[in-house]
Structure 1
Amino acid sequence: MTLQVHPEAKALIFDLDGTLSNSLPVHVATWNKVGETYGFTFDPQIVHEMTGRPTIEFARHIVEKYNLTANPEDIVKLKQKAFWDSAELLEPVQEIIAIVKEYHGQLPMSVGTGASRKSAEVQLSELGIADYFDAVVSANDVASHKPEPETFLKCAQLMGVEPTACQVFEDGDLGIEAAKKAGMMVTDVRPHINYGEWDH
């Protein structure tokens, strides 16, 4: 069973981290760097549990979990800079990129991500796919993040397509829940992708 576009889909929406971009190893590595600075050992399970949430929520969770006195905003700045500086280590998820390239020009496409606007732009540029999408909705563009449906509903609005005619490709439980709440067709990409040693 390969990844397929639903015959009734009139627009495609892609999550970014773990769907278009195999970024989890880079995220874990950069969180480890943050841990070295602030004196804690990062638990990679946090990435899997919170995939789809904005970085500030990760930072707040980490402050609480490790009883840090640090300001979450300062942690976010350090984490994001470390991630952007490591962008060349990002790898495309070929199975998903193939769909993007095949349907470019045939169906409107957008990215709906919990990443910041800059992080999304850095990743899409590094992967060479920034020009394939009609819209990018980031954590900076919505008030309610995944698992709330706002990210995906905004994608549909920007593409001018009814939510029920949109197909979402996602690897995170929170994103899958958000797509279902939005009334969209959802494809969990995890069974179809080989992430290597960072398999979900």
Structure 2
Amino acid sequence: MQFEGLIFDLDGTLADTMPAHYLAWREITQKHGLKFSEERFYSLGGVPTSRIFSILADEQGVSLDPGACAIEKEETFISYLSEVEPIQPVLDVVRENYDNVPMAVATGAMHWVMERILNQLDIHHYFTAFVSSEDTVRHKPFPDVFLEAARRLGVPAEKCCVYEDAQLGIEAGQAAGMHVVDVRDFHTPRRITAGA
């Protein structure tokens, strides 16, 4: 099938950011007295940072400001950004389709963090539409982020293909009626706590 629009998740799909994100999560959750295993971190891929802080705080009976903690965590993540590399097989797809098929980034990340990652990897120019956590009320596994990306590309949802690495994102792409490529089939991020 010839797709008329390609939509890419960012963290763990375009950029191998997940290890760096987990290092930042571990630092800030420990500081605030929260437990957050690497397994749980991956299971919540695609959920906005402030929402994860709310979930963890509610579960563990900790009082905190999710919005302030989210900013603290993202600022910590930025300090690890120099270690982040693109995920080459996905970047190859982007380069092959550049100038032929309109492409978007659709992420649960905050807009400013998305911009920093795309610019760090020098891949911002490949995309014509961007949707971040601030752009929709509902987030993955709801399809809103991908539907908004398709709308901004001017392409019907059913003619779009989504590249995703997280289960919630895959469910969101399927709920949007899009074809979904599971990046986990050819890329496994390095685990920080493997064998620890």
SS in 2 for 1:195: coil
Determine the C-alpha separation between the residues in 2 that align with 1:42 and 1:53: 14
TM-score for the superposition, normalised by structure 2: 0.92
Corresponding position of 2:77: 83
| 8 Å CA contact retained: 2:107, 2:131 | yes
SS in 1 for 2:113: helix
SS in 1 for 2:181: strand
Q: Which amino acid aligns with 1:144?
A: R
The question of 1:117 aligning with 2:124 is answered no
Q: Which amino acid aligns with 2:8?
A: F
Corresponding position of 1:3: none
Corresponding position of 1:186: 180
Task: Give the RMSD, CA atoms, in angstroms.
Answer: 1.4
Report the count of equivalent residues: 192
Q: Which runs of 5+ in 2 are unaligned?
A: none
SS in 1 for 2:13: coil
Determine the C-alpha separation between the residues in 2 that align with 1:183 and 1:29: 34
Q: Which runs of 5+ in 1 are unaligned?
A: 1-6
The question of 1:55 aligning with 2:39 is answered no
What is the CA-CA distance between 1:196 and the residue it aligns to?
Answer: 3.7
What is the CA-CA distance between 1:46 and the residue it aligns to?
Answer: 2.1
Q: Which amino acid aligns with 1:57?
A: R
Specify whether residues 197 and 36 from structure 1 end up closer, same or farther in structure 2 by C-alpha distance, changes over 3 A only.
closer
TM-score for the superposition, normalised by structure 1: 0.91
| 8 Å CA contact retained: 2:29, 2:36 | yes
| 8 Å CA contact retained: 2:47, 2:139 | yes
Q: Which amino acid aligns with 1:115?
A: A
SS in 2 for 1:128: coil
